[in-house]
Structures are given as C-alpha cells and as structure tokens.
Amino acid sequence: MVSSYLTQSALSVEPADIESALSQLDDFLQDQNNWQDAVWSYRIPELGEGGACSLFGHLQDEPFELTSLLSQDQQTSQALVKLQSMVAYVQSQTDVDWFGIYQTRQTPQGAQLLKLAYHGAPSRPLFPINEQFAATSNNVQVVMSGRARVINDVPQYVSNGGEYYTCDPKVQAEACLPLFDNANNCIGIIDAEAFSKDFFTPNVLALLIAVCIKIPQYLPE
C-alpha cells in the first residue's frame, strides 16, 4: 500500500517512516477520546469577480452547509468525525497552520473538490475541477493528475514564474497530496499550508502520506 501510494503520487519518502506514522495514526484513531465532532457548517470567504479568487478576510454572511451536498445520516456523520479527528492529529503533530481534506463530488455545477474537514482560517468550500482552475490551483492540478505537489518556498516559486492560487498571503510553503481509491483513481486531495519556508520535511511528509492512505476508508459515499 505504501509503495503503491509513493509510485502513484510521485513522492520519494522512506517507506519505513510512513509505516511508523500509519501505526501511530491507527493508535490515535482507536481511542475515542481523540475523536472530534463533525463539522457540518463553516464560514467561507467572499469570492472575487467571476468566482475564481477568494477575498481573504472578507467572509460571506451565510456559512456553507455540507448538507447542501451530503446526507446528514449516521454513516456520513461518523465519516466526518474520523476526518476531523485526523485533521486535529495532523495539526497537533506538525503545528501546520492550515490543513484540509477534500473529496471529489458531483455537484449541479459539475465535478468539484468539496472541503469536508479542516483546521485554520476560513477558505472556499469548493474548487471546480477543470483546466481553468488547474492553471493556478495546486488542489485542482493534483486531483486531475494524481501527482503530489510540494512547494517549500512559495515566494521563490512565484518569482520563478510558477502559477499560484493565493488565499492567505502569509503562506510560505504548501503541500498538496492526492487521495486514491482501491483502483488507484484519484478521489480527492489533502492540502497543507505553513507560514514558514521549508516546512515540509521528510518526517512531515511521511505523516501526511500516512493520513492520505487512511482517509479514503472514511470518505462519505
């Protein structure tokens, strides 16, 4: 499972470190004292002209409701509990400034990445999966390609001509990793952002990969 993920995502991390991180994550999830409440409603930014960009610091009056796209049944609630618990685990182990879990969902507007659980500042709930958004969004690039993207120096990346979707201007490093089903189809992503450069060390990436391997077991149907 670990070697398959590394091959599919085009990441190079020591497999033994990922296995160790998986074991620790399993121990965490088995203890119900660590479980977090499901988050069904969250604040989101205003969108800029055309809906392409989020206006950081300007929040919409009404929160986004996951019930607009998910059934609020027991199975889905339990899935969101586990996902929010993994978000809390990642934050506690790494002190990452922002972390989110997204699933590919069919919506009335087409296929989009839906934010299911997160830690950090408010951010947009949906990313349309299309070539237009892929031009600037790591999230969409990763879900369309199935290949991870790790940028440990965002300012340098941008100054070198890299396209980048800026939500929080404080972000200095970002790691966006794919989620795969049993048939190796990319079915979502995780996104992690840090306010310091060179944040995504091999140890941090090992933990993120472990989480990516575990998350698909808990994605809503």
Rounded to whole angstroms, the Cα distance separating 135 from 1 reads 31
In the predicted structure, residue 170 carries a pLDDT above the cut 80:
yes
In the predicted structure, residue 81 carries a pLDDT above the cut 70:
yes
pTM of the entire structure?
A: 0.94
Average pLDDT, the chain: 92
Dihedral, CA atoms, 123, 124, 125, 130, nearest 10 degrees? -140
How do residues 172-187 score in pLDDT, each as one tens digit?
999 999 999 999 999 9
How do residues 124-151 score in pLDDT, each as one tens digit?
899 999 998 888 888 999 999 999 999 9
Rounded to whole angstroms, the Cα distance separating 103 from 39 reads 15
- Report pLDDT for 49: 59
How do residues 30-58 score in pLDDT, each as one tens digit?
999 999 999 999 999 887 655 566 666 67
One-letter identity of residue 129: I
In the predicted structure, residue 195 carries a pLDDT above the cut 60:
yes
